[in-house]
Each structure stands twice: as structure tokens, then as C-alpha cells.
Structure 1
Amino acid sequence: MTVLEAFHANHGATFEERGGRRLVRHYGRPERTHQAVRNGVGIIEMAYGVLTITGDDRVEYVDNVVSNRVPGSDGEGCYALLCDPQGRIELDLYIYNAGERLLLFTPPGRAQALAEEWREKVFIQDVGIEVASDDLAVFGVHGPKATEKVASVLNKIGVPDGSLVFDRGTIHDVGVTVIAGDDLTGEDGYEIVCGVDEAETVLDTLVNYGMGAVPFGTRTWETLTLEAGTPLFASELEGRIPNVLGLRNAVDFEKGCFVGQEVISRVENRGEPSKRLVGLRCETVPEAGATVSADGEEVGQVTRAAQSPSLDEPIALALVEYGLESEELAVGNEAVPATVSELPFIEGSGRSARCPID
């Protein structure tokens, strides 16, 4: 968020733009920062768009359009998808029941358009939809020491236990919501939500007080999640059906109808999506979009790749034909050798809830 640019700049940040948000790309030496998170704990400012949904029919309204069951109790959350009629993912969402309102986290730059679309579809229901992206700040705390880090600065409550559940407390007398996350980096993870006016105080406390923590940016987030086998919205999720990605934590197959449900359920019942998401170990780092071949025939495409700081070798995620048996593949026009690898690449203190399940 731009209101914290001075704080980030004082830590040597390099910035980038995503969805109209100015974010930290890295603070210098991102590979070393990656290892610091893997061995201890790191703090990242998240780039979510935020919606608040109020009114007596708020849970029913959202539940009718998303792929997962919206929790009815305060303090609980879920991960869910918005899909088109063909079952393709249009958005992924985190949905939290905060008592008299639902709090929705969207990919960066998507909250305003979603609010406008939903407002047009509200008729007789008691539902209010507001964009709160500029009112709230969200900080991720990740690493094997994340629980100890949060406990070292949190007042009045213990660290929430579970996945996508939350509690309310204070950090330096600032009211915060502490969410137990879904371990997308392959390590224990939490998110701290506060008002934007208190964001600098909270971030300063997370970085500099209690147990030590290293700040990190989107470049390190990408390598951490890649090693964890976590598909991300922009590179793997958007425009694909969840069955292809093994994204079972986002879909309740026993839930009532939602847009795209018929296609998703049919693929699930058949048990054979057209493609599947796999890990690759490569001789060189391929470009996103590079072709994947077996025995000279194209069988898939790379979605994301990087030099793994933990393994010190190139790794990638790729969508390949379902049922592909060959473990020896080639990537790109130059047919660089690659082998299929089990996901996650790295076993950490947690397991990403998005890591594909066959």
C-alpha cells in the first residue's frame, strides 16, 4: 500500500505495480531472504482487494454464487472460487464471517469490479456491498517460527489454532484480527488485519519487536509458493477448471448449485480432467508458457518457473495431459531435459492447502 511506501523504502525496497497497487518486489538479495523465511519467519504486505458484505441475507447471497460453503459462524472462513458456466475460474476468494459482516479478500485490483457486478444482481435481498481495499491492511507472517512470532507481539488472546479461523486482539494497543492461514508457502502462516491508519505501527511491530522477522516482497513470495506447490491466481488458476489443478480445498462437491458446478461435478465424477498440474525439475529455468514435450509430442505448458533458493536448481509448475506416464520430458524449443517431480518440492513446517491432490 502506498501509505507505507516510506517504511518499505527505509528498508531498501524495490517496488512494482499490480492491480493498481504499489507493492514491494524485494528488499535486495531475495534469495537470501527466501532462506531466512524458510529457516525462521518473514513478514509480507499482502495485495488483496477487500469487500465487506452486510445485511441479513449476506451469507445466503454469497453462498449461492461461490464454490465452497460460506461459514455461518463468527470467526470462521473458507477459500472459494467464482467460476463461469464452463467451470473456469474467474476469481479466487477468501471469505470470513466477521459477525455482522462478511469480509472477502480478492486478487489485487478485482474488488471494485466484483462489487459493481454483485450490486447489479441484488434485488429484494437485504445485502450491502462495499469496497474496503483502502481501509484495511493485511500482513502475512510465514515460516517455521511464525506461531512464536505472532505470540511474541500479540496481546489479550492466544494464537488461533486451525485453518482459516480467526480471533481478535491487540498489537501495541492497536486492534487487529489474527487469521490462521492455509500455509501457502509450505510453512506455518498467519495473516494480521488492521485499519490502514494503524498499518505502520503494526508492520513496525511485526518486523522489529518480539521475535525477529525479515520483511519480504512478491519475488520471495513467488519462490516460496512455487517450492510449496501452490498454484497462484494469475499464473495457474485464472481461466482453468479447479479439477485440473487438484484444488479440492476450494470446492464443496456436496454443496448446492453455483455457477459452473455442473461442469466441475461432471469432471470430478468422471475422474479424468483434461490436464493435471505437476512439478518439474529442469536443467535451466524455462519461460512461463514454454511447451512441455514427451517423445517429441507436445503434452503441456509451463505456468511458472524459477531458480529454487532451497534446492539450488531450476523448478517449474506445468499443466500436462492427464494420464501422462512419462517421467522424462523436454521443455521449450530447445528441448531442455526435465523430469516430473512430486509436489511439494520442499517439505516445510506446513503443507499448502492448494498443493494438488490427485
Structure 2
Amino acid sequence: MSGSPFLVLPGAVPAEGLDAGVAAHYGNPMVEQRRLEQGRAVVDLSHRGVLTVTGPDRLTWLNSMASQRLDRLAPGESAEALFLDAAGHVEHAVHAVDDGERTWLVVEGSEAPSLASWLDRMRFMLRVEVADVTGQYAVVAAMPEGDGFPIDLPEGAIRWTDPWRLELSNGHRYSHDPNHPGAFWRSVEAIVPRARLAELAEAVRSGRAEPAGVLALEALRVAAWRPRFATEVDEKTLPHELDWLRSAVDLHKGCYRGQETVAKVVNLGRPPRRLVLLHLDGSDTVLPKPGDTVVGVKVRPEPAPGEEPERRAVGHVTSAALHHELGPIALAVVKRSVPPGLELIVESHGIDVAAAQVEIVPADAGAAVEVPRLPRLGVRP
């Protein structure tokens, strides 16, 4: 694939790392965040991967493997689904939409080949075909009000509307916050022919919409507590730890790989780790990077003279951003046992960055059902 035409727009600064291939920003990420929130801006996500699944068995087949109910997916309806391993750990996350003839799956660009290969091995004798069409199709995103889009999309463009804001009835929400910021997350992804990407970039250049880079989108995502596969997931991640049952898991659907763990943790157990939002001290103008250690600081009620507070690693930063209203913020995964009021520090760039946590998955998140207590054998009333 050649370079994105959005990278030649005025002011474009290429992103690095996992978002390499698209623009990080166009000169002012803060202004770009506001434009996104106002529904005026378009984000180039052409580095994302796009798969298609065709054939009459496609929806029932995908449904048999995914955490989300997909067998009843109506044309144009959006869904998010996870593919788990046998122990319930997240292996892939997909943004799924069906057009009546094929199911489109948007994934992180680096995940497209491995997911396509795995799905192809799982076809057996079913009437399905899997194709990696990343070379032919690209993704752009916006946060429009209503059903619009900041620019006219090519005929036949496929739209995926993020269900994070909806809180699906068959899912489960760990967060107790009645004012969940996800309610303001209006992300829409459009799948368009890659050959038409230059036309969309030209529409932006001509002033029909504003450009926004991935830094702006990431800052709004972090503020909305919205997990992303490329940043929040590691080899141990359970969907419960990221409050991902909210949008990507149907607790009422039938068997799929990893379902037993999903049901056991939500009904009887506790997530071993939990996602938190960190409000960071910005006085040193240091923004942590993913992987930076989160440290808990514990001070004894009556410390001995000269005794230093106890410091212990309790987690790590997964995403960090500079938000136009909240300032420096981050998502972090910490141990379940970390008290919500514990003073936290992020060790970053050789300095300590003070951090105040906001619970996303609460420390007391536990069983969703009551376990009946059976009388002990031999005991008589």
C-alpha cells in the first residue's frame, strides 16, 4: 500500500509506533479534538485492517466463535465482538457490520493477517470465505451528530457505529458511574474503497471538512474510558478487566470458546485486574508512555523517624493523552486489590508523575449473582 493521501494535507505530522502510516496531527491536536467533538472533522484510519467474510453460513459461523451475538446481525447493524482463547483471554477484537452479502470486520492493521489465517483454519466444511481486503479498502472515522458524516462518502461505503455509548442490554457494566463518559463517544468508522481515499482527502483540503489526527481521536477515546485492542490488551486480558462486557459480550448467547470463564467471572468471581483512568500531574509536562509502571504509595499511620513510604508496583499505563479539557490523562490496568483512594505514581522518563485514579472497573467489582449457601451436613435446627 502506498502512503495515505491524508499525509500530504497541509500541516500533517506522521504518527509513529502502532499508528504509523497516518497523521498524528495537523498542527494543533487540541483544536482537532474540539472539531471532532463538534462533528466537523475526519480522521484517517487507513492503517486499520479490513477483512470480509462471505457465504450463506457466515453469520452463524462467526456467531459460534465470537463473544457477541452475530447470527441475527441485520444489514447495516453494527456490533463489536471478541475472539477469546480457551481460558477467556482476549485474542482478537473486531468491529463487525454486515451488508446483506458479506460481513465486514475492521481490526488493528497488525492483526489482520493473523486473524484472517485463524478464521480460514476454522472454516471446516462450512460455506464461508475469508479475505483480507486491507489493500482494497480503507477506514476513516468521525464523531457526527445523528446519521450524517462530515464529508460525502463514496456510494456503497459501509458505516460502523461504535456501540460503546449504548450499554447493550445483554452485556454487563461494572462501572457504577451514572454519568459514564462513554455516553458522549459517538465514533463512526466508514469503510471505503482505498482508491477513493484521495477524493476524501481532497474534500478535506477544499474545506468541506476539517482534518483531525489520531492523537485527537485517542485523547477522546481515553476520556471516554473506551478500551482499544492495540493498547489495553495483553496476553492475560479478560474482557471483564476493561469493562468490555459493556459493548462486546452477549451474556445470553450460546457456547463459544472462552465462554465458561466469562460466565464464571461475571457470576461468581472478581476480575483479577481492573482498568482505571488516571488524572496526571502536568506540572512537569511529562506524558507517560504505554508500559510505564504504576506505583502505589503506602504511608504507615505512625511512621518511624526518617522512614520512607512503601512503594510497590501495582500496574502499568496502557494509553496516555493530553485532553483539551481534562489535561494529561491515562488509562492503566492495576491489580484488583489496589484501594480506590491509594496514592499512585507513574514512573515515567526517570521522574515520578503523581496520579489520581478514577474507577472504571471498581475495586469491589464482584459476583453478579448470589450464590446460595447450603446447610452443612449433619447440622440440625
TM-score band, normalised by the shorter chain? 0.7 to 0.9
* Cα separation, partners in 2 of 1:225 and 1:13, compared to 1, 3 Å: same
Please state whether the residue corresponding to 2:110 is helix, strand or coil.
coil
Which of 240, 243, 246 is 1:243 aligned to?
240
Shift of residue 30, structure 1, vs aligned partner: 1.8
The answer for the alignment partner of 1:299 in structure 2 is 314
Q: Retained in 2: the 8 A contact 1:81–1:91?
A: yes
After TM superposition, the structure 1 = structure 2 runs for residues 110-129 of structure 1, keeping only pairs within 5 Å, are 110-129=111-130
Shift of residue 326, structure 1, vs aligned partner: 3.7
After TM superposition, the structure 1 = structure 2 runs for residues 1-358 of structure 1, keeping only pairs within 5 Å, are 2=2, 4-5=4-5, 7-16=6-15, 22-46=21-45, 47-70=47-70, 71-142=72-143, 146-147=145-146, 150=149, 153-154=151-152, 171=153, 174-182=155-163, 186-205=184-203, 208=206, 210=208, 213-239=209-235, 240-248=237-245, 249-284=247-282, 285-288=287-290, 289-295=292-298, 296=310, 297-312=312-327, 314-322=328-336, 324-333=338-347, 336-341=353-358
Shift of residue 13, structure 1, vs aligned partner: 1.4
Q: Retained in 2: the 8 A contact 1:21–1:108?
A: no
Q: Retained in 2: the 8 A contact 1:303–1:317?
A: yes
* Cα separation, partners in 2 of 1:204 and 1:298, compared to 1, 3 Å: same
Shift of residue 335, structure 1, vs aligned partner: 5.2
- The amino acid across from 2:10 in the alignment is H
Structure 2, unaligned runs of 5 or more: 166-181, 299-309, 362-367, 369-381
**After the TM superposition, which of the residue ranges 192-201 and 14-23 deviates more from structure 2?**
14-23
Please state whether the residue corresponding to 1:221 is helix, strand or coil.
helix
Please state whether the residue corresponding to 2:315 is helix, strand or coil.
strand
**Matches of 1:267 and 1:207 in 2, distance apart?**
50
1:127-146 CA distance string (max 9 Å, x none)? 1111111111221112xx54
- The amino acid across from 1:34 in the alignment is Q
State which structure, 1 or 2, has the greater radius of gyration over its C-alpha atoms: 2
The TM-score with structure 2 as length reference comes to: 0.75
* Cα separation, partners in 2 of 1:308 and 1:343, compared to 1, 3 Å: farther
Please state whether the residue corresponding to 2:21 is helix, strand or coil.
strand
- The amino acid across from 1:199 in the alignment is L
- The amino acid across from 1:4 in the alignment is S
Task: State how many pairs are aligned.
Answer: 321
Shift of residue 84, structure 1, vs aligned partner: 1.3
**Matches of 2:198 and 2:320 in 1, distance apart?**
33
Shift of residue 217, structure 1, vs aligned partner: 1.7
- The amino acid across from 1:64 in the alignment is S
Please state whether the residue corresponding to 1:75 is helix, strand or coil.
coil
The answer for the alignment partner of 1:165 in structure 2 is none
**After the TM superposition, which of the residue ranges 181-190 and 239-248 deviates more from structure 2?**
181-190
How high is the sequence identity, in percent, across the aligned residues? 27
Which structure shows the higher strand fraction? 1
Q: Retained in 2: the 8 A contact 1:137–1:194?
A: yes
* Cα separation, partners in 2 of 1:60 and 1:274, compared to 1, 3 Å: same
The answer for the alignment partner of 2:177 in structure 1 is none
**After the TM superposition, which of the residue ranges 249-258 and 39-48 deviates more from structure 2?**
39-48
Q: Retained in 1: the 8 A contact 2:74–2:98?
A: yes
**Matches of 1:74 and 1:306 in 2, distance apart?**
35
* Cα separation, partners in 2 of 1:147 and 1:196, compared to 1, 3 Å: same
Structure 1, unaligned runs of 5 or more: 155-170, 345-357
